[in-house]
Amino acid sequence: MDVKRIPAKKGDYNLQNYEEMCETFSWDDMKRNFTWNETGKVNMAHEAIDRHAQDPNKKNQTALIYSAPNREEKLTFGQLSEQSNKFANVLKKYDVTKGDRVFLFMPRSPEFYVAFFGILKTGAIAGPLFEAFMEQAVRDRLQDSEAKILITTPELLERVPQEDLPALEKIILVGESDAGSARYINYHSEMQTASANFAIEWVDLEDGMLLHYTSGSTGKPKGVYHVHNAMIQHYATGEWVLDLKEDDVYWCTADPGWVTGTSYGIFAPWLHGNTNVVRGGRFSPEDWYGTLDTHNVTVWYTAPTALRMLVSAGEAVVNKFDLSSLRHIMSVGEPLNPEVVTWGLKAFDLRIHDTWWMTETGAQLIVNLPSEEIRPGSMGKPIPGIKATIVDNEGNEIPPNQMGNLAIKEGWPAMMRAVWNNPSKYESYFVNGWYVSGDSAYKDEDGYFWFQGRLDDVINTAGERVGPFEVESKLLEHAAVAEAGVIGKPHPERGEIIKAFITLNDGYEKSDELLEDIRQFVKTGLSAHAAPREMEVRDSIPKTRSGKIMRRLLKSWELGLPTGDTSTLEE
């Protein structure tokens, strides 16, 4: 096969000797960067914020540049430390203690980051929810986690089904509201009177820090549980992959409701004491290039769908901006097309470095490093300390250039430690000592990994992971829908879009209005990104004899592919 290769530019990268590091590096080496290595006392909030606030040279450095169409604000490490202390005191006042789940359901804002670190300072587990979630999505997550406190805005409050959440004791509202209930607490008035001193809760490395809900092909979303120990890998990849240096201005475009927005939108840059840009509001090419330009961003972590949209916006737009400060670009979340990498060379005079990892893995595992050759279309090679391979169904390694299941030797620092309330689901990820990802891929002779697709029915639309079961369940709640099967359909810009096949109940006639009504029902009930962009009414939905929807078959039909084994198909 003819593979294009883009050599590394000469540069002063943090990780130069990749091959040698793969031989010699052990995770214990990385622990020496942390003071807890001597004390055993740890808290991510201390390492990411307070440590810098206590350093006279860093205290007044800008930690957060928040920029949105209607609001611009900066916080120094000192301010972020003090305000999160205050918020920790507010939580303590309402009896939050170590191990409690405290959830955030709000748009990106300075208050989000203050509250997030306040939660960690109490030793509680933070659960960030994507702001676009609608009632069902919010209910599933808050019920399963038995969240004790929720921080949200008055605007989002109506999507919180309070009557279904007996464990939820208080709701902290960020913003003016005249809504009255014994459950409500006002963020701003509490913060005004809270003390700025807080005795941080020192925890163990293996104590809980974060719950990120994510989707599989069956069942409700699962709470992926991460512990403070993950910081070792966030720090390491911040150094090697993000290549962060003291003066870098860093921007990660992901929302903290998704794992990229916490691991790399919060932890990695602040563990390194960098100035971190957070952009609120919606995507637009002008806005994003403008953010890079205005804040002189040097290191940028983004996603293929956004990059593809920038490509379609054309050269005239990019040429309006001065992007000369930019020195390093990375991408994550979906396959990065070689054409986009080629475009990046032209538009930015920079390589775009693809990185691969998952909610469950907590941090980057397979990456393109700034000092290594890039083969466009490949996710790159495992970072030092990580053993990756391709396995068959029994968990046996298979030779180069053969497709199989991408697997990682278990036990890396940022690996999830549990699936909340679901030990059997957690166990099911591990076969023969390997964490089995469910991504199909192959490895070439030189150790580069090439992503091929998902082995299950999980959909990846614009980089967002959607479980078909959740969408099908929501569709079935609509009075007109009798049966539903949902698939991801390839799409040039968004990677995949959601397509739903439905059958109608007696008394309903297919019409454009009805289909639009059903679509809106999912959009307003679950979330916009989970609403089917295409719908097809059928006479029946293919099922196995045991009643399982055969999504594979729907997909083959949709794509005009061979249907494979249909022996389990119901009559």
By CB under 6 A, tell whether 260 contacts ligand PRX. Answer: yes
Which residue in the set 110, 261, 335, 382 belongs to the binding site for ligand PRX (CB under 6 A)?
Answer: 335
Residue with tokens 């609001």: 71
| Among 333, 344, 404, 413, interactor with ligand PRX by CB under 6 A | 333
What is the spatial distance between Cα 329 and Cα 349, in angstroms, rounded to a whole number?
Answer: 11
How far apart, in whole angstroms, are the C-alpha atoms of residue 207 and residue 43?
A: 9
In this chain, which stretch among 327-335, 339-347, 486-494, 511-519 interacts with ligand PRX, using CB under 6 A?
Answer: 327-335
Answer yes or no whether residue 332 interacts with ligand PRX by CB under 6 A: yes
Q: Return the H-helix or E-strand segment holding 441.
A: strand 434-443
Tokens of 373: 């050759």
Q: 333: phi > 0 → left, psi -120 to 50 → alpha, else beta; which?
A: left
Which segment (142-150, 239-247, 329-337, 546-554) binds ligand PRX by CB under 6 A? 329-337
Amino acid symbol at 202: W
How many whole angstroms separate alpha carbon 218 and alpha carbon 308?
Answer: 30
Region near ligand PRX per CB under 6 A, out of 118-126, 284-292, 326-334, 428-436: 326-334
Q: Which is nearer to ligand PRX, 334 or 470 (CB)?
A: 334
Which CB sits closer to ligand PRX, 168 or 303? 303
Question: What's the angle, vertex CA 102, arms to CA 99 and CA 105, rounded to 5?
Answer: 155
Binding footprint of ligand PRX, residue count (CB under 6 A):
21
Residue pair 425/458 in contact (Cβ under 8 Å)? The answer is no
Q: How far is the CB of 394 from ligand PRX (least distance, A)?
A: 21
Cα separation, 467 vs 487, whole angstroms = 9
**Interface residue with ligand PRX, options 76, 136, 337, 359 (CB under 6 A):** 359
E strand or H helix at 276? strand 275-279
Is residue 439 a contact point for ligand PRX (CB under 6 A)? Answer: yes
Kindly state whether residue 496 participates in binding ligand PRX, applying the rule CB under 6 A: no
526 part of the interface to ligand PRX, by CB under 6 A: no
330-345 core/surface letters (b: 16 or more CB in 10 A; e: else): bbbbbbbbbebbebbe
Calpha distance 524→134 (Å, rounded):
6
Cα separation of 366 and 388, whole Å? 8
Cross-strand partners of 65: 74, 277
Residue number with CB closer to ligand PRX (258 or 501): 258
The correct pick among 51, 141, 375, 465 for binding ligand PRX (CB under 6 A) is 465
Residue 463's SS3 state is coil
Q: Give the pairing of strands 366-367 and 352-356.
A: antiparallel
354 part of the interface to ligand PRX, by CB under 6 A: yes
Among 387, 417, 454, 543, binds ligand PRX (CB under 6 A): 454
Is residue 436 a contact point for ligand PRX (CB under 6 A)? no
Strands (E), 166-271: 170-173, 184-186, 208-214, 222-227, 249-252
Q: Which of 49, 40, 100 is nearest to 78 (CA)?
A: 49
Residue showing tokens 């001597």: 38
Sole binder of ligand PRX in the list 250, 270, 356, 420 (CB under 6 A):
356
368 is an interface residue for ligand PRX by CB under 6 A: no
- Near ligand PRX in 180-239, by CB under 6 A: 214
CB atoms within 10 A of CB 191: 20
Name the DSSP class of 263.
I
Q: Decide: residue 446, CB within 10 A, 0-12 exposed, 13-18 middle, 19+ buried.
A: exposed
Residue (4 or 93) nearer to ligand PRX, CB: 4
User: Which among 86-94, 314-322, 328-336, 541-549 is the span making contact with ligand PRX, rule CB under 6 A?
Assistant: 328-336
Is 34 a binding residue for ligand PRX by CB under 6 A? The answer is: no
- Contacting range for ligand PRX; rule: CB under 6 A; set: 18-26, 140-148, 354-362, 499-507: 354-362
Q: Does residue 460 belong to the site contacting ligand PRX (CB under 6 A)?
A: yes
Asked whether position 451 contacts ligand PRX by CB under 6 A, the answer is yes
* Residue 128 or 273 having the CB closest to ligand PRX: 128
CB of 546 to ligand PRX, least distance (A): 27
- The span of 52-60, 322-330, 348-356, 469-477 binding ligand PRX (CB under 6 A) equals 348-356
Whose Cβ is closer to ligand PRX: residue 202's or residue 429's? 429
Say whether residue 416 binds ligand PRX (CB under 6 A). Answer: no
Binding site for ligand PRX (CB under 6 A): 214, 258-260, 332-335, 354-359, 379, 437, 439, 451, 454, 460, 465
